Structure 1
Amino acid sequence: MSRKNYWLVFICIVVFSTIFSGCGRIDDAAVSLGIKNKDFDYIRDGKISKVVIQNKRDKGFTFIVTDKDAIKDLYDILSSSKPVDNKITLDPDYILEFHEGVKQVHKFSYVAGLDKKDAGNLYSEDKVYIVSKRLDDDIIKNFWNIRIPKEFNNVYYQSMLKAVKDYRKSAGDKKTIGIDINDEEVAKFILSMDLKDFSGNLDSKSEIIQNDDRNKYDITMDIETQGYKTDIYKCIITFYDKSTKKENKYYFINNYELGSWRFSFTKDKEPENF
C-alpha cells in the first residue's frame, strides 16, 4: 500500500470511529483544546426555565426568554466562550440571569461589542469569560421590536462632536467641558464600547462625566434626544458655563439621505417644525 493510500485509510478510520463513538468524545476533545467549556452545561441539560436580559442603562428595556431554541442558541455561544482571569474595566451594558428551577439564578454582567481581547466581557462573581459578539448581534438585538436610527453611533456621537467643535470657537480651548450622557430616550442603545470610542475622539479638555461629578468642570454639556425614526434624528445639546452663567443650546435635525447622515443644527434658536 502506498504512503498516500495509507494516510487516506487512516483518516477514514478516525472519522468513522468518531461518528460511532458519539458526540461526547467530540465535546471532550473540544474542551481539551480550549474551544469549549462545560461551565454552561446546565443550560444544555434543559434546567433553565427562563433567561432575563436587562439593559443596565434603561431598566425598562428587559427581555424574558423562554423559547427553547433561543436558549439553545445562548448555550451554543456561551459554551464556546473562553475563561480568563481578568474582566474588562468598562461598565456592563446588560445583566443576564439564567433561572434554574425556582430558587437558583445564575447571574452575569455583559459588556457588548467586544471579543477576542485579553479581558473578559462576561462575568459573574467568581468567573470571567470572553464571549463572542454574536451574543449581542445574533441574540440580544433579535429581541428589539423598536426602530433604531440607521447608523445610530454615527448620528448620535457625531452630533455631540460637531456641537463641541462649534462651541469651542467662541468658548476657547482652555476651559474643561464635562459631557453628561444621561439621555433617557436612547439609553437602551448606548454601549460602553461606543462611549470609549467617543471619548477617544474628544479634545483633551473634554470628557464624559463620571459618577455625576459635574462640579469639577468649567462647562457642562447635556444631550437630550427629542425624537427619532430610522432616517431622522433630533436632539438638543445644551452647554452651561458656570463662570459666566451663560447657556447655549444647539438644535439638531439630522436626516439620513443617499446612504449617509446629513447634519443640520441651529444655535440658540429652535428651528421651525422642531
Structure 2
Amino acid sequence: MKKPIKSIITILVIILSFNLTSCTLIDNIKGKFKKDNGYFDYLLSGKVDVISIQSVRDKSFKFLVTDEKAIQSMHELLSKAKVSEEKSDLQPDYIFEIKMGSEIKQFNYIVGAYEGNFYDENENFTVSKRLDESIIQNLSIIRKPRDFEYIYYNSILDVMNLKKEVLNNGNNKIGIDVENDIDCLKYIFSTDIEDFLSRARKITSNVEIVNNNEEDFDIVIKVKNRGHNTTVYKSNITVEDKKNKVEYYYYIVGENEFKEWNIDIYTKDNVPKEVEKNW
C-alpha cells in the first residue's frame, strides 16, 4: 500500500506545481497585457482639490481643473500612458500640478512628443495621444488661426528664403526669436519647433531658437503677431543683421481661402496703402 500512496502524493505534487506555475504564467501574461499603469489611480480618490495646467512659454496662460468628470477624464488618459525608461529632451510645453491638500504632484508635459513626454522626478510616461485633444483643446482660445502651425512657421521660412544670401554670407549664427511673440506663445510647442528647425536648416545650417540669449547671435529674426483669427493672419518679421547694422522689415498677410492659406510678404517700400492703413 505504501507504493500507491507515494505515487498518489507524487502526482498531487506534480499537479499542484503545474497549477502554481500556470497561475504564475497567467498572471505574467495578464501583467504584460494590462491596459492601466495604476500610477494615477489617486486621481479617482476624491481627494484631488485642483489640477493646474500652466503654459511654460506664456505665463499668463494657465487654467484650473476642478470638475470631477474632467479629473476622471484625465485619469482615463494618463492610466493608459506607457512607462518609459527615458524622458524626452525637448523643452516642456506645460507644467501640471495636482494638488491634494498640502501635497502637490508636479509633471512636465511635452505636446505630441513620442517618448517620455509626461514625467516627474521619479517616473517617465509616454502619453499616446495629446492631452490637449481631450482637455486643453476644450479650454483653449477659440480664436486660434486655422492651420496655425502652417501659417506661422511657413511665414518665417518664406522670409528666410528671401534673405537666404544675407543669412549665409559668412559664418553667421542665426537666432529665431519667438519668445516675445506674446499672442502666439500658447500655440507654440516644442515638437513643432523641432520640425521647423529641421526645415530652417535646409536654408541656413547655423540656426537656433533664441532662449533669453539674443546677444549670442549675429542675425536675429524676430516675429511679432499683429492680429489673427481663423481666416486672417498678420505679423511683422524683422531680420536684424548685427554685423552690418542693417534691419529688414516685412509685413506678413495670410488669408485662408477655400481651406488654403495664401501668404503675401511686403517690405516697407512696396506695402499696399490699404494693408498699411489697417495694420
TM-score, normalised relative to structure 1:
0.83
What whole-Å deviation, never above 9, does each CA across 1:39-98 have from its counterpart, x for those lacking one? 111112222121111111111111111111111110001111111121000000001111
Q: Distance in 1 between matches of 2:69 and 2:256?
A: 36
Q: Name the amino acid aligned to 1:235.
A: S
Match in the other structure for 1:179: 176
* Mapped pair 1:142 → 2:138: yes
Going from structure 1 to structure 2, the CA distance change for 1:171 and 1:103 (only over 3 Å counts) comes to closer
8 Å Cα contact 1:34-1:82 kept in structure 2:
no
8 Å Cα contact 1:113-1:136 kept in structure 2:
no
Match in the other structure for 1:18: none
Q: Distance in 2 between matches of 1:67 and 1:31?
A: 32
Match in the other structure for 2:59: 59
Superposed, which structure 2 residues align to 1:148-159 within 5 Å?
148-159=144-155
- How far is the alpha carbon of 1:172 from its aligned partner? 4.6
* Mapped pair 1:160 → 2:159: no
Superposed, which structure 2 residues align to 1:221-236 within 5 Å?
221-236=221-236
Match in the other structure for 1:240: 240
Tell me the SS of whatever aligns to 1:165.
Answer: helix
- How far is the alpha carbon of 1:219 from its aligned partner? 1.2
8 Å Cα contact 2:86-2:124 kept in structure 1:
yes
What whole-Å deviation, never above 9, does each CA across 1:7-31 have from its counterpart, x for those lacking one? xxxxxxxxxxxxxxxxxxxxx9865
Q: Name the amino acid aligned to 1:133.
A: K
What whole-Å deviation, never above 9, does each CA across 1:134-174 have from its counterpart, x for those lacking one? 41212111111431000000000000000000012455554
* 5+ long unaligned stretches in structure 1: 1-27
Q: Distance in 1 between matches of 2:268 and 2:152?
A: 20
Q: Name the amino acid aligned to 2:155.
A: S
Match in the other structure for 1:42: 42
Q: Name the amino acid aligned to 2:205.
A: K
Q: Distance in 2 between matches of 1:43 and 1:171?
A: 51
8 Å Cα contact 1:30-1:36 kept in structure 2:
no
Match in the other structure for 1:197: 195
8 Å Cα contact 1:122-1:128 kept in structure 2:
yes
Going from structure 1 to structure 2, the CA distance change for 1:129 and 1:139 (only over 3 Å counts) comes to same
Match in the other structure for 1:10: none
Q: Distance in 1 between matches of 2:31 and 2:75?
A: 15
Identity of aligned residues (%): 34
Tell me the SS of whatever aligns to 1:106.
Answer: strand
Going from structure 1 to structure 2, the CA distance change for 1:164 and 1:226 (only over 3 Å counts) comes to same
Rg (Cα) greater in structure: 2
Superposed, which structure 2 residues align to 1:1-274 within 5 Å?
31-100=31-100, 102-115=101-114, 119-169=115-165, 172-174=168-170, 175-182=172-179, 183-202=181-200, 203-269=203-269, 270=271, 271-272=275-276, 273-274=278-279
Q: Distance in 2 between matches of 1:243 and 1:169?
A: 14
Q: Distance in 2 between matches of 1:52 and 1:233?
A: 30
- How far is the alpha carbon of 1:194 from its aligned partner? 0.3
Aligned length: 244
Q: Distance in 1 between matches of 2:29 and 2:72?
A: 21
Q: Distance in 2 between matches of 1:171 and 1:106?
A: 45
Q: Which moved more, 1:77-86 or 1:210-219?
A: 210-219
Q: Name the amino acid aligned to 1:222.
A: K
- How far is the alpha carbon of 1:177 from its aligned partner? 2.1
Going from structure 1 to structure 2, the CA distance change for 1:42 and 1:219 (only over 3 Å counts) comes to same
Q: Which moved more, 1:70-79 or 1:125-134?
A: 125-134
Going from structure 1 to structure 2, the CA distance change for 1:208 and 1:34 (only over 3 Å counts) comes to farther
8 Å Cα contact 1:173-1:205 kept in structure 2:
no
Tell me the SS of whatever aligns to 1:48.
Answer: coil
* 5+ long unaligned stretches in structure 2: 1-27
